[in-house]
C-alpha cells in the first residue's frame, strides 16, 4: 500500500466513458487529475460536456497528443475503437496506460481483423480482475503492469454470469446463449438517428444480431481462460429505454449435477468485493447497480429445458467501463483494489 499521489490524464474526457472515469477519480484519494483531452471538442470547457463534474467546470480540453498526455503517471484512453493504438504508441513506458476501447483486448490478430478490421495494435494485460484463469484470477497478472486493456461492458456481464459454471465443468460451453438489455449510454455520444430520444423512448430494439457483434470473440476468449476447451455462443444485445445498465441473461446446457450449481457460484464469488451472488429468490436489477462498481448475479436451473440460467446486472459505465478500469489501475499501482470505488448504488 502507498500514500503516493499519482497524476492522471484522461483522453476523450468529453465522452461518456471519459466523464465517468473523471467522476470516480474525483473521489480517489491517491489521484491528482491532470490533462483532459479531446478531439473535436478541444478548446472548449469541460462544463459544456460534463456539467455534473462541478470541481472541473473551468478546465479546458486540450488536443490529444503525446505532449499533452506525456509526463503523467497514468493515462486513460477513452477513444473510439481503432484510435487508442496509435496514441498509446507515442507514450513512454513510464506511464500506466489504460485503454477503455477495444484496441488491445483481443489476443488473436485474426479476431481483430474479422470483427474490427485493420491492423491489430497488440494485446495488453486484461483488466477484469475477477476473471477466472488457469493460474487463479486475472488480478494476479495486473500487479505492476504498465498497460491495461479494459473489457467490453457486455463482455464483463456475460463473463461474470457464466464463468463459475464453466470453471466447475457444469455446462456445455459449446451451447451458450446470451441476451442482454442495454442502456443507451453504451452506444456513446455520437449523434445517430436510432439513438435519438424520439426513436428510443418506449422502444426496445436488437442490434449486432447473428454473431456479428464485436464483443463475441472477447467473450469466447474469456471463457476459454475460465477452462472451456471450446466455446460457441449466440449473443444478442438489445437497446432498451434507460440511460445506464446492462441486464445479461445467459443460459447453457447443463451437463453436471444441478445440485452443485449454487455452490460453484458461492465459491467463485465469496471473496470478491464487487461481484455478489444474491440470496436465492432475489433477482438482479440494473437499478440496484446504478452508480456503483457492483455486479449482481443470480442463478437457476431450468430442469425442463436442462439448462443453467444466469442473470447478471451491472452499470455499464461503472463496472462495465470506468469502475473496472480504476479497479485495475489500483492493482497495477499497488493500491487496495477497492480504493475510490463506490460499493453502494443509488435508489430509487
Report whether 74 contacts 98 (CB < 8 A).
yes
As a whole number of angstroms, the distance between CA 341 and CA 103 comes to: 25
For the sheet with 171-182, list strands across it: 205-206, 233-239, 171-182, 246-254, 307-314, 295-302, 275-277
Instruction: List the one residue out of 285, 70, 295 whose CA is nearest residue 162.
Output: 295
As a whole number of angstroms, the distance between CA 125 and CA 317 comes to: 20
Q: Which residue has the cell 474490427?
A: 116
Report whether 155 contacts 215 (CB < 8 A).
yes
Grid cell digits, residue 307 = 439448462
Contacts of residue 76, Cβ cutoff 8 Å, sequence gap at least 6: 8, 9, 10, 11, 12, 18, 21, 98, 100, 325
- Which residue in 11, 128, 148, 153 is the catalytic one? 153
User: Is position 300 annotated as part of the catalytic site?
Assistant: no
Q: Which residue has the cell 484519494?
A: 29
Catalytic (active-site) positions: 153
Amino acid at each position: 500500500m502507498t500514500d503516493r499521489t499519482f497524476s492522471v490524464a484522461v483522453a476523450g474526457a468529453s465522452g461518456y466513458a471519459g466523464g465517468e472515469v473523471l467522476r470516480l477519480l474525483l473521489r480517489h484519494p491517491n489521484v491528482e487529475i491532470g490533462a483532459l483531452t479531446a478531439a473535436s471538442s478541444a478548446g472548449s470547457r469541460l462544463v459544456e460536456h460534463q456539467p455534473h463534474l462541478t470541481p472541473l467546470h473551468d478546465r479546458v480540453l486540450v488536443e490529444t497528443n503525446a505532449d499533452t498526455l506525456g509526463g503523467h503517471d497514468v493515462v486513460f484512453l477513452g477513444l473510439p475503437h481503432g484510435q487508442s493504438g496509435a496514441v498509446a504508441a507515442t507514450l513512454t513506458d513510464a506511464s500506466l496506460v489504460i485503454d477503455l476501447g477495444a484496441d488491445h483486448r483481443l489476443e488473436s490478430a485474426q479476431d481483430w481483423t474479422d470483427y474490427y478490421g485493420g491492423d491489430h495494435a497488440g494485446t495488453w494485460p486484461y483488466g477484469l480482475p475477477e476473471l477466472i484463469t488457469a493460474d487463479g484470477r486475472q488480478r494476479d497478472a495486473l500487479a505492476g503492469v504498465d498497460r491495461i486493456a479494459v473489457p467490453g461492458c457486455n463482455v464483463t456481464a456475460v463473463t461474470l454470469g457464466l464463468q463459475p459454471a464453466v470453471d466447475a465443468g457444469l455446462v456445455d460451453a459449446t451451447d451458450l446463449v446470451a441476451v442482454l438489455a442495454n442502456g443507451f449510454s453504451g452506444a456513446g455520444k455520437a449523434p445517430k438517428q436510432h439513438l435519438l430520444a424520439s426513436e428510443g423512448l418506449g422502444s426496445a430494439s436488437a442490434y449486432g444480431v447473428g454473431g456479428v457483434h464485436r464483443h463475441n470473440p472477447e467473450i469466447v476468449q474469456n471463457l476459454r481462460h475460465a477452462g472451456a476447451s471450446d466455446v460457441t455462443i449466440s449473443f444478442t444485445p438489445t437497446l432498451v429505454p434507460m440511460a445506464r445498465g446492462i441486464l445479461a441473461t445467459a443460459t447453457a446446457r447443463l451437463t453436471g449435477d444441478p445440485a452443485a450449481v449454487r455452490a460453484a457460484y458461492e465459491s467463485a464469488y465469496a471473496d470478491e468485493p464487487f461481484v455478489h451472488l444474491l440470496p436465492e429468490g432475489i433477482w438482479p436489477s440494473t437499478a440496484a447497480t446504478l452508480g456503483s462498481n457492483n455486479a449482481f448475479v443470480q442463478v437457476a436451473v431450468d430442469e425442463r429445458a436442462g439448462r443453467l440460467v444466469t442473470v447478471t446486472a451491472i452499470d455499464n459505465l461503472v463496472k462495465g467501463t470506468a469502475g473496472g478500469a480504476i479497479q485495475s489501475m489500483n492493482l497495477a499501482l499497488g493500491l487496495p483494489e477497492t480504493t475510490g470505488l463506490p460499493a453502494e448504488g443509488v435508489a430509487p
